[in-house]
Structure 1
Amino acid sequence: MKRLFKNIYLEFRFFIGLIVLAFLFIMAFQFPGLLIISKTLFVVFVAITLVDSILLFKLKGIEATRVLPEKLSNGDENPIDIKILNKHPFNVALNLIDELPFQYQKRDFQINTHIKKGAEKKITYTLRPLERGEYHFGHLNIYTTSPIGLISRRYQFGQNAMVPNYPSFLQLKKYMLIAFSNKIFEFGLKKIRRIGHTMEFEQIKDYVPGDDIRNINWKATAKRNQLMVNQFQDERSQPIYSVIDKGRSMKMPFDGLSLLDYAINATLVISNVALKKQDKAGMFSFSRKVENKVVAERRPSQMNQILETLYNLNTDFSESDFSRLYIDIKRNLTQRSLLLLYTNFETLDALHRQLSYLQAIAKNHVLVVIFFENTELEKLTLKESDSTYDIFEKTIAEKFVYEKKLIVNELQKHGIQSILTPPEDLTINTINKYLEIKARGLI
């Protein structure tokens, strides 16, 4: 009985009815003829309430299931499905309240809808997680109301459901689809012209009109007494490492996601692209020390290993030690590799403190320093100034924006390639740089 009463909720119509009855009883003091009408209406009201209760509690009711994905994709809209079956012989109004994970801090989430008698309905809403980790869902609460609408009954389904939130694998799938479509350039990917002969030898074949005469193999031609040419294939199995700075500078948030999470999402995509290009993909992170290492390989399980490593990656809020990074790379990376270094420099002085280590790394490897535009400062520079304070604020913002461009020039002056990108364009710009480096034969 206690459980029954816990699931009964009074609706707005019920209180309106009580207010009307109370008003009639009060008026009966002045007009005694209203007393009989008031009592009659009260009995009718109680009877209708009992009928409403019987309709909701004595019949079969509804069934509902929350369908959660196996894992959530960080920073993306993830669909959550709710399937509802109405077993009542009448139409039902529903008020659906899903207890979302605490990371959202949302206590007013609800969906109001109707479902016809004997019908099945699917409701879909989306969630955009911004932190990696475990997301625990509470009860799925559904409040049903009959056509009378005086009371509602609560049903609870699907408690204690947990879904892990992984780096953006939906973004990974999106770029895979783009790569096989004809709309590749609509998403910012550039067509890179291959420069020179930066390919591996494959075989010697007979010359046919149209072959590059520079590839004629004169020794083979003399032996066969006919023109023979060297045939090449794209260079493969080049080590591609994503190096993620997980110091405190990477905790800065943009559009809800930290710079570290943008770098993690880009690492997942570029690793997949590199593997599809027959290269070896690997990664490691650094702050006070180098860790989270995944050696560059082309194994079938490589992407899963990278995904699991990225899932557990978090900043330690310390100052990043680039000297440790240089020493570890010198000891462990003996083959010339492409290093995509995700970090962030806000000032030229911050770059100069680490420049000697970056130069030392770039001597033996192709180093690309990837850092971020401060999009909030960019917006500030475009804002109209209405006061002296606004002018001062805008001037400081322009100074910091200009300093980012000076960092790019400083890296270029020392022979280090770089990408200065808005956080939301990080993945596209990283893929473009990788394709450019491959086309130019730098690795």
Structure 2
Amino acid sequence: MEMLRNLKLIWKLILLLLLTALAFCYAMFQGGFVSWFLFFSFLPFAVYSILLAIYPLQTFEASREISQDQFSAGDVLKARVTLQRSFPFPFIYLIAEECLPPGLKQTQDDIPARKWFYLGLSRKAVFSYTVQSMKRGEHEFSQIRIKTGDLLGLFEKEARIETKETIIVYPSTFSMSYKHSRPQYEQGASAVTQRYMKDTSMASGIRDYQPGDRMAWIDWKATAKRDSFMTKEFEQTRTHDAVIIMDQQDSEAFEAMITFTASLSKAIIKEGSPLGFILLGSTLDTTAALPGGRQLQTIFSKLARVKPEPSQSAFSLWEERMASRGGYSSSNLFIVSVLSLELVRKLEYRAGYSELKLYFVRKDRDRPTQEEEVLLDRLNKRGIVSEFVSEGSFTRTLKEVKIL
């Protein structure tokens, strides 16, 4: 391709020199004012075209400034591109264009990412553009294209300036509340903020006093009987870890499912509960259950990059993991946009080993089919809480979410 471009340039140079020579020969043999006027009128255009042909557009340097570092789906991107050059060659025109990533599309309401400049001898050119309603994902900006040409239309030069920058657009979220289930002790799960904490209202025994024990914990009756300080022992509550398991099968409601998952994750982390995350595709992409904002950032980063990945073995991989670990002590929240009989059967099989709940997400105004309603009802009858979630009713539904 590069060789063909060079051959084309050489051919145009030869053609231009030939035209210049013919104009000179015509003036020499014809003589007179008119012939020489035509030659000298054509000569500046020919010289400019030759200089433009040998001028390297790669001398331009480009930089890009983006309005912010992090975006959510639906935000507006504002960018400013600056072009600079060291040698002020007099361009008749210059077209500068940002090569937008495939995932970003401009609308009629956007400021175009392309601009014409009548640069002249100026060494600097600046233009701005916008992209409204950005889509979730990781978008890489790589090149800025510049293009110019001569008045004769013989030479059109184009260059692409490398200037790489990556932005991540996180999924949008809806506000919701998350409520803990009642605490359980020792063998049971609970929903307290810390992983282990003492419940001083429930004493389970006594032991010898140890440095650091509070005075309020001392059992004075036992101390008087044994003539040494004795301390009450209390039940320890354990945290209620939640694990979100999101199916990656492609469907029309895939993006709606991403939004729902992000909203639920944010609510659980905000409440202080440890949260794990599993992407169910051709492989299991697992994130261990942890509390805090850093965990939410990790989950959002995965949700920003995730793509549909249909796999027939997805549920089998999850079932093998459950079997190898003897089930989970935490709540397993399944979020799917495709409800299949295979999934229902595997959930039914594991219902006695761990706490399961399923959210079936569809696009706005889409209702489940009769077969899907039968499957949801079948899960509910087996004690697996299953809920249909429509994109248009996220706000209402999410406010009612409880981990049972």
Per-residue deviation, residues 92-136 of structure 1 (Å, max 9, x unmatched): 6322355566889xxxx9834225646541333549998967858
Q: TM-score, normalised by structure 1?
A: 0.52
Query: Which of 260, 268, 274 is 1:274 aligned to?
Result: 268
Residues 183-238 of structure 1: CA deviation (Å, up to 9, x unaligned): xxxx6x5789999999979999xxxxxxxxxxxxxxxxxxxxxxxxxxxxxx9954
In structure 1, what is the equivalent of residue 390 of structure 2?
421
Q: Deviations over 1:154-178 (max 9, x none)?
A: 4635338474x75x42x35xx4xxx
1:60–1:88 CA contact under 8 A, matched in 2? no
Following superposition, the deviation at residue 410 of structure 1 comes to: 4.4
Contact in 2 for aligned 1:93/1:113 (Cα 8 Å): yes
| Aligned equivalent of 1:114 | 117
CA contact (8 A) 1:94 1:143 kept: yes
DSSP-derived class of the 1:48 partner: helix
Structure 1 counterpart of 2:321, which letter? Answer: D
CA distance in 2, matches of 1:52, 1:321: 62
Q: Equivalent residue for 1:226?
A: none
**Alpha carbons of 1:57 and 1:72: their partners in 2 closer, same or farther (altered >3 Å)?**
farther
Q: Does 1:368 align with 2:358?
A: yes
- Is structure 2 residue 83 aligned with structure 1 residue 84? yes
How far apart, CA to CA, are the structure 2 residues paired with 1:271 and 1:341? 11
Query: Following the alignment from structure 1 to structure 2, what is the Cα–Cα distance between the partners of residues 318 and 58?
Result: 54
Q: Is the 8 A contact 1:243 1:283 kept in 2?
A: yes
Inter-partner Cα distance in structure 1 for 2:47 and 2:256: 57
- Rounded to whole Å, the distance in 1 between the matches of 2:390 and 2:114 is 39
SS at match of 1:306: helix
- Residue 94 of structure 1 aligns with an amino acid whose one-letter code is L
How do 1:130-145 and structure 2 match up within 5 A?
Answer: 135=140, 137=142, 139-144=143-148
Counterpart of 1:46 (choices 28, 43, 55) is 43
Equivalent-residue separation in structure 1 for 2:258 and 2:271 (angstroms):
20
1-structure distance, mates of 2:191, 2:139: 45
> The residue matched to 2:312 in structure 1 has which SS?
coil
Deviation at residue 82 of structure 1 after TM alignment: 2.3
**C-alpha separation between the residues in 1 aligned to 2:397 and 2:322?**
21
Partner of 2:231: none
Q: Distance in 1 between matches of 2:179 and 2:345?
A: 33
Counterpart residue number, 1:67: 64
CA deviation after TM superposition for structure 1 residue 280, in Å: 1.5
The Cα shift of 1:243 comes to 0.6
Q: Cα gap change, 1:253/1:151 in structure 2, threshold over 3 Å: closer, same or farther?
A: farther
Unaligned runs of 5+ in 1: 26-32, 176-186, 205-234, 379-397
Is the contact made by 1:7 and 1:153 (CA closer than 8 Å) also made in structure 2? no
Q: Quick one: distance in 2 between partners of 1:367 and 1:144? A: 61
Inter-partner Cα distance in structure 1 for 2:344 and 2:390: 20
Partner of 1:355: 344
The alignment partner of 1:251 has SS state of: coil
Is it true that 1:286 corresponds to 2:283 in the alignment? Answer: no
Q: Given residue 247 of structure 2, which amino acid in structure 1 is its aligned partner? A: D
Give the Cα separation in 2 of the matches to 1:194 and 1:300. 18
Q: Which amino acid aligns with 2:347?
A: L
Contact kept, 8 Å, 1:275 with 1:281, in 2: the verdict is: yes
**Cα separation, partners in 2 of 1:36 and 1:317, compared to 1, 3 Å:** same
Distance in 1, Cα, partners of 2:145 & 2:296: 38
Q: Which of 280, 284, 299 is residue 306 of structure 1 equivalent to?
A: 299
Number of positions where the alignment pairs a residue of Structure 1 with one of Structure 2: 329
Amino acid at match of 2:81: I
| Whole-Å separation in 1 of the counterparts to 2:9 and 2:343 | 64
Using the aligned pairs only, state the percent identity.
Answer: 13
Matching of residue 318 in structure 1 with residue 311 in structure 2: yes
Q: Which structure has more helix as a fraction of its residues?
A: 1
The aligned counterpart of 2:329 is: 335
TM-score normalised by L of structure 2: 0.56
Q: CA deviation at 1:367?
A: 0.4
What secondary structure is seen at the aligned counterpart in 2 of 1:325?
helix
2:247 corresponds in structure 1 to: 245
Per the alignment, in what secondary structure is the counterpart of residue 162 of structure 2?
A: coil
Give how far 1:420 is off: 3.7
Task: Pick from 421, 424, 436 the counterpart of residue 400 of structure 2.
Answer: 436
Q: 1:78 to 1:72 in 2, by over 3 A?
A: farther
**Amino acid in structure 2 at the alignment position of 1:357:** K
Superposed CA RMSD: 5.8
Deviation at 1:344, TM superposition (A): 0.6
- Kept in 1, the 8 Å contact 2:65–2:79? The answer is yes
Deviation, structure 1 residue 297? 0.8
C-alpha deviation, 1:298, in angstroms = 1.2
Paired amino acid for 2:116: T
C-alpha distance in 2 between matches for 1:60 and 1:316: 42
Change in Cα spacing, 1:68 to 1:403, as seen in structure 2 (3 Å) is farther
Q: Distance in 2 between matches of 1:362 and 1:333?
A: 10
Alpha-carbon distance in 2 for matches of 1:151, 1:241: 64
Contact 1:96/1:143 (8 A) holds in 2: yes
Aligned mates of 2:129, 2:369 — CA distance in 1: 42
1:284 Cα deviation after fit: 1.4
Aligned to 1:223: none
Larger radius of gyration, structure 1 or 2?
Answer: 2
Question: Structure 1 residue 402: deviation in Å?
Answer: 4.7
Task: Name the counterpart of 1:93.
Answer: 93
Q: Which residue of 1 aligns with 2:290?
A: 297
